[in-house]
Amino acid sequence: MTHRGRRLTRLATTVLLAVIALVFAFPLFYLIATSLKTKADLFEPVPSLFPPNPTIDPYISVLFTRGFGGLLVNSIVVGLSATFVAICVAFAICYPITRLPASPRLRRFVLNWALSLRFLPPVAVVIPYFAIVRTIGLYNQLPALIVVYAIFNLPLAIWMLRGFLDEIPLEIEEAALVDGASRWYAFRTILLPLSRTGILAVVIIVFAFDWAEFMFAFILTATPQAMTFPVGVQGLVTQFEIIWNDMAAGGVIAILIPLSLMLIARRHVMSGLTFGVIRDK
Amino acid sequence: MKLRTWLAVLVPIALVASACSSSPSSGTASKLTIAAVQGVEDAGLKALAPMYKQQKGVDLQIVEAPYDDLYSKLVNAFKANDSTYDLIMMDDPWMPKFGTDGSLSDLGPLGITQDPDIAQVVWDVGTWPPPRGPVPPSEKSKPKQLLGVTIVGNVEMFMYRNDLTPKGPATYDEVLANAKTQNKQGSVAGYIIRGKATNPVVADFLPILWSQGGDVFDENWNVVLDNDASKAAINFLVNDLKAVAQTDPGGTDASDRDKIMANGQGYQSSVWPGEINTAVLDPAVTKVAGKVTFIPIPAGKSGKGVGMMGNWLLGIPKASKNQQAAADFIKWMLQKDTQMTYAQNKGIPSRTSVLKDASLTTANPYFPVLADALQAPPNWRPRTDQWNAVETIIGTHLNKALTGGETADQAATGAAGEIRTLMKGAGYPTQ
């Protein structure tokens, strides 16, 4: 290819990427712009791209006046707890099938079972879950959401963790066992530290799913004691009014936490997500 | 910080916080939990909460949910026999469902009695089975009980721009004539249709239907939505009014209508009291301050204008552990002085003397019209627990007709046929 041809290709690529970036970034920009608008701005016949009179009132309204700050805390508590539970259970399932001499048939069964859970649409089980939760007295309580979220994200955690654990050579752990270490000691001091990149990736991904979940939170809760942030934000569409600026502020706040986590740990997440994608034992 | 250090710090915090925040709501009478609809309808209620705490020492926890979500949450809570809510706000069309299911307590034995300063229809709409009109077959043998008391007096009215025509329309013929005149001038939509599918378009259409002499059911639950008068009403909406309406009437909901009106881009429309304060009378956004007059629904071919009721009631779930405390709050809320404070804080009262109080009419110019509308009385939506499904059928067909998917006559016959099948399946003697 000639020098001119390369330049044209580079220019075309840049333009294409810029257009794609714009398509992806514009909704986010408009969300932020709307979150800074006043009610009067929203009533203008022609919507403006930039807030004419920028204000942080919608953020104050969402976090304090409407009391969504408590819902934010609920979301964090549920997200962290459900992620912790899912990862603990996933470890308990993945360890035997990756580190112990389990039969390939058992491995396949466990992994396929986990995958089948993931394909189950949440709406198919929401009524039985509702009945169970009310029977055991957990309706409108955070532990109900923690358990349900952990169950629903367990397959994802299992499949991701299994990929990471498969990548860690058995020989390292076996060397420790030969030297007299117990299985628990080898797990704690060798396997866990070696798989931390993978664990971090699983934590971020599972937490992001927990964070964005709406349907179970909506069905299984009744008051702000147990409601999560997405349920609160959705409530801003009222019968006679759609409170766009508050809703946009809620959207920005909802994005901030998973986005921050992703930015902080993006190196681990990227390497975690590409871990074990080539090889399959 | 290493991962395990992070985990060691975060997980216990999360679990402890979870345990702390998951304790069930208090069942003592020092606190009442009210399930309320989010929006202007519960603004007055929220304003009363600190006052009740100060006077009676009872905390009011108001749990808000949007219209559709509130209904789902209440159905879920009743199914779960959950005692979270001590009081619930309910739209009057929900009464048949909750009354049929036996989810609410009778307020009579709890000491709530009728007050002549509150229109009779307000008591009737909270009574189950309904004291007039067709009664569902399964409910005929049940004793009448007061299951809800109106806290938002909501009757659909009509609004028009008094700067464009000093005299408002008295009939739907005048509505159409005025709309054509305004449209010719080209600056405003002659009529604003709230035509979004399901509940919105049905709420907009029923006053037209009734005023033009049509109906959904007759006294024996026979479907009459496809008789001549009903078809004429549907044609009036879909052909005549649509021709002079805003663009995309099929996608317009109440918030869009209010924006069009508040921006001075519309001439007239029906309106709920609950939506007036969000835009048309909101000084922060309105461009038509002092230019909008509120009047009763204009008369149609039937010779009268029939408003539609959309009252919000307060009821006590049977599962509540604070029955008497909840009833005491309702009694307190209905007192005249409380209703005055309520009205001064964006609440929409139901007491006639409060609605007609001259000191309130400057801020709420529609109050006297609402008082008259409640005395008229307005129609309520058919009292059947199948109403949500019926409304969805009608609203889907009307929306389809407004968006060009079928003709007005097809909408009438299509909807009527589906409603007949539905009602027969539900055990009604529908023909």
HEC secondary structure over chain B: CCHHHHHHHHHHHHHHHHHHHCCCCCCCCCEEEEEEECCHHHHHHHHHHHHHHHHHCCEEEEEEECHHHHHHHHHHHHHCCCCCCCEEEEEHHHHHHHHHHCCECCCHHHCCCCCCCECHHHHHHCEECCCCCCCCHHHCCCCCEECCEEEECCECEEEEECCCCCCCCCEHHHHHHHHHHHHHHCCCECECCCCCCCHHHHHHHHHHHHHCCCCCECCCCCECCCCHHHHHHHHHHHHHHHHCECCCHHHCCHHHHHHHHHCCCECEEEECHHHHCCCCCCCCCCCCCCCEEEECCCECCCCCCCCEECCEEEECECCCCCHHHHHHHHHHHHCHHHHHHHHHCCCCCCEHHHHCCHHHHCCCCCHHHHHHHHHCCCECCCCCCCHHHHHHHHHHHHHHHHCCCCCHHHHHHHHHHHHHHHHHHCCCCCC
Q: Which residue of A241, A244, A257, A268 to mutate against B (max B Cβ within 10 Å)?
A: A241
B40 touching chain A per CB within 8 A: yes
A139 touching chain B per CB within 8 A: yes
- Give the separation between CA B351 and CA A10, rounded to whole angstroms: 74
Closest CA to B97 of B381, B396, B307, B429: B381
Residues contacting residue B73 through CB under 8 Å, at least 6 positions apart: A222, B35, B65
Under DSSP, is residue A211 helix (H, G, I), strand (E, B) or coil?
helix
Neighbouring CB atoms inside 10 A of A107's CB total: 15
Strands B31-37 and B87-91: parallel
243-282 of B, contacting A, C-beta below 8 A? 254-255, 258-259, 262-263, 265, 272, 274-275, 278-279, 282
Residue B175: the pLDDT is 97
Residue B158: the pLDDT is 97
CA distance B47 to chain A (A): 13
User: Which chain B residue shows the shortest CA-CA distance from A242?
Assistant: B255
Residue B14: the pLDDT is 42
Write out residues in chain A with pLDDT < 50, as ranges. 280-281
144-183 of B, contacting A, C-beta below 8 A? none
Residue A269: the pLDDT is 76
Measured between beta carbons, the chain B residues lying within 8 angstroms of A43 are 259, 262-263, 279, 285
A103 touching chain B per CB within 8 A: no
Strands B127-128 and B87-91: unpaired
Residues contacting residue B313 through CB under 8 Å, at least 6 positions apart: B89, B90, B91, B92, B95, B125, B126, B148, B149, B150, B151
Under DSSP, is residue A93 helix (H, G, I), strand (E, B) or coil?
helix
Cis peptide before B129 (omega within 30 of 0): yes
- Give the separation between CA A58 and CA A246, rounded to whole angstroms: 5
Measured between beta carbons, the chain A residues lying within 8 angstroms of B18 are 77-78, 81, 142-143, 146
ipTM metric: 0.75
Neighbouring CB atoms inside 10 A of A186's CB total: 19
The verdict on a CB contact (< 8 Å) between B7 and A84 is yes
Q: Tokens representing A142?
A: 């955070």
Residue B67: the pLDDT is 87
Lookup result for tokens 């409640």: B374
The verdict on a CB contact (< 8 Å) between A225 and B23 is yes
Q: How far is CA B417 from CA B153, B229, B410, B420, B423, in A?
A: 34, 17, 10, 5, 10
The verdict on a CB contact (< 8 Å) between A241 and B278 is yes
The verdict on a CB contact (< 8 Å) between B84 and A140 is yes
A214 touching chain B per CB within 8 A: no
What chain B holds in terms of domains, given with CATH numbers, is 26-154+310-375 (3.40.190.10), 157-308+386-425 (3.40.190.10)
Write out residues in chain B with pLDDT < 50, as ranges. 1-4, 6-27
Measured between beta carbons, the chain A residues lying within 8 angstroms of B278 are 240-241
Which residue of A39, A134, A222 is in closest CB contact with B73? A222
Q: How far is CA B203 from CA B200, B223, B394, in A?
A: 5, 18, 11
User: Which chain A residue shows the shortest CA-CA distance from B253?
Assistant: A240
User: Which chain A residue shows the shortest CA-CA distance from B9?
Assistant: A80
Question: pLDDT tens-digit profile of B54-113?
Answer: 999 999 999 888 888 899 889 988 988 888 899 999 999 999 999 999 999 999 999 999
How big is the CA angle at A128 (ends A114 and A143), to the nearest 5 degrees?
A: 75
